[in-house]
Structure 1
Amino acid sequence: MADNPAYPAWSGEPFAGPLVAPELVPSWLRTLTGASGELDGGLLQRLAKQGGGAREAAVLVVFGADGAEDVVLQLRADTLGAHAGQVSFPGGGAEPGDHGPVETALREAREEVGLPADAVRPIGVLPRLMIPVSGYTVTPVLAYWTRDVPVSAIDPGETAAVARVPMRYLLDPANRVQVRVRERYTGPAFLVPGMLVWGFTGLVLTGLLSLGGWDTGSDRGHDRVLELDEAWRTVREMPPLRGRVQA
């Protein structure tokens, strides 16, 4: 992969944008692929990182192909020191042998949820984003399934559960709220059975729904504000999401 000119390297100027021509990807992902180098005017812009200085990381945002429109999310184990019990995309920090963000994201996805690199096709790279609480600069890599393979929590010490959450579920206003953490933070969140998608992942996912043209504005559900504890209680009491959830 290091010799593939289509994939950006960690060295040099940060790259953001499509990795393939939009017309070559599944039709429902073409708008997002073409807009992958852009930032939502509000939510993603507040995470924009100019320049370097922080440790580089990458996450893999894997969408279903036509007929299986979903996205892979994982619940981090409660025993972890950083971001314990939070929902994230598969991913993590760059290692010395990684050529660039695509390679980092694919390696981490294989290690965390057992996703083989040849089962997905990377289609775009978002601009680098900052997680202020951890100091990481994160590059989201967009991809879709080329063949359907099972994903699961490879190391229970790191990942408690893995889910392929349907996009229609994420767009349902009933599952979308604002989460408030005392007076320190208020931001978009998604209520998924057993998973509260908020913080960095909630912001990125909300931005992707906007960039992809799926979020019409009326779907946002931003009028409903829940305190963090209340939001967690809500997702734990929700009926299980049928299929595609694996511990």
Structure 2
Amino acid sequence: MIYPNSIKNIDQFVEDFIREFQMGLPGSKAQQKMSPSIRNYSNNKNDPSLTRDSSVLILFYQKGDQLYFPLIERSNGDHKHSGQISLPGGKFELTDKNLIETAIRETEEELGLLGEKIHIIGPITGLYIPISNFQVQPIVAYYEGLPQFKADSFEVKQIIETNIQELFKADNKHEETIHKNGFEIKAPYYEVKGHKLWGATAMIVSELEELLKRANLIE
């Protein structure tokens, strides 16, 4: 195995990842490692009759001998999530067959990618977001070839190409204290190209990190 420093073939990487994926997911225990303290005071169980379904896509692709996935900085035009660092994705629409289709559709729209080049690996552990009442289903996939990004100008301020070896270095994990609405929030975050990746997205990525480490695909 040539990991964890470089890759020569994304197909081999995907094969190794799927093998570990099929052994079972780390689940909420892995997510909790990057959970902000405000969740300790929130209702972390959804009401299926009220919760809105959504999905996001973790989309691996090879660039040179390194593996990446895209994060996005939401633009000021997308007022509800303005300025957030997140995975591409959004809410389920009645025209979607399922949440996988939702994730692909939203990624096509936000990143300008071709859906037929997105190959699904599978879902990881879903996460309820109390503040927005969304039940988010993360989907893992890989892209065939090198993606040619074209960001949606309304929703996306910038696309952050995220190198997995860099992101998951120990010195890229930090914690800060945020004062918001009378709460003091302890917020762990990943540092990625000068941005802070925290909250629900960081929790989702934390489970991904655990899977990659378990499979010896990152250090």
Identity of aligned residues (%): 24
Which consecutive residues of structure 1, in runs of 5 or more, have no partner in the other structure? 1-22, 220-247
Q: How does 1:103-122 map to 2 (within 5 A)?
A: 103-122=101-120
Letter in 1 for 2:76: D
Structure 2 distance, partners of 1:146, 1:130, is 30
Q: State yes or no: 1:43 paired with 2:41.
A: no
Q: Which residue does the alignment assign to 1:212?
A: 212
Structure 1 distance, partners of 2:208, 2:23, is 9
Q: Which residue does the alignment assign to 1:52?
A: 48
String of CA shifts for 1:160-180, please: whole Å, max 9, x gaps.
001221011111223221232
Structure with the largest fraction of strand: 2
String of CA shifts for 1:35-84, please: whole Å, max 9, x gaps.
56550425259787566230110101111249331111000012322121
Structure 2 distance, partners of 1:50, 1:28, is 33
Tell me: CA distance 1:64–1:44, structure 2 relative to 1, closer, same or farther (3 Å). Answer: farther
SS at match of 1:69: strand
**1:102, 1:141 within 8 Å by CA — same for their partners in 2?**
yes
Structure 1 distance, partners of 2:69, 2:193, is 15
Q: How does 1:41-120 map to 2 (within 5 A)?
A: 41-44=29-32, 49=45, 52-53=48-49, 54-65=51-62, 67-120=65-118
Tell me: CA distance 1:121–1:25, structure 2 relative to 1, closer, same or farther (3 Å). Answer: farther
Q: Which residue does the alignment assign to 2:132?
A: 134
CA RMSD in angstroms, aligned pairs only: 2.8
Tell me: CA distance 1:42–1:149, structure 2 relative to 1, closer, same or farther (3 Å). Answer: closer
Q: Which has the higher contact order (CA 8 A, sep 6+)?
A: 2
Shift of 1:96: 0.8
Normalized against structure 2, the TM-score is what? 0.77
Q: How does 1:190-229 map to 2 (within 5 A)?
A: 190-213=190-213
Shift of 1:202: 1.1
SS at match of 1:188: strand
Tell me: CA distance 1:187–1:36, structure 2 relative to 1, closer, same or farther (3 Å). Answer: farther
Q: Which residue does the alignment assign to 2:149?
A: 151
Structure with the largest fraction of helix: 2
Structure 1 distance, partners of 2:48, 2:124, is 16
String of CA shifts for 1:92-128, please: whole Å, max 9, x gaps.
0011110111100000000111121112211011232
Structure 2 distance, partners of 1:208, 1:41, is 12
Which consecutive residues of structure 2, in runs of 5 or more, have no partner in the other structure? 1-10
Tell me: CA distance 1:49–1:60, structure 2 relative to 1, closer, same or farther (3 Å). Answer: farther
SS at match of 2:150: coil
Shift of 1:187: 3.2
Q: State yes or no: 1:30 paired with 2:18.
A: yes
Structure 1 distance, partners of 2:32, 2:23, is 13
Structure 1 distance, partners of 2:151, 2:31, is 29
Q: Which residue does the alignment assign to 2:186?
A: 186
Letter in 2 for 1:41: K
User: After the TM superposition, which of the residue ranges 56-65 and 38-47 deviates more from structure 2?
Assistant: 38-47
Shift of 1:28: 4.7
SS at match of 1:213: helix
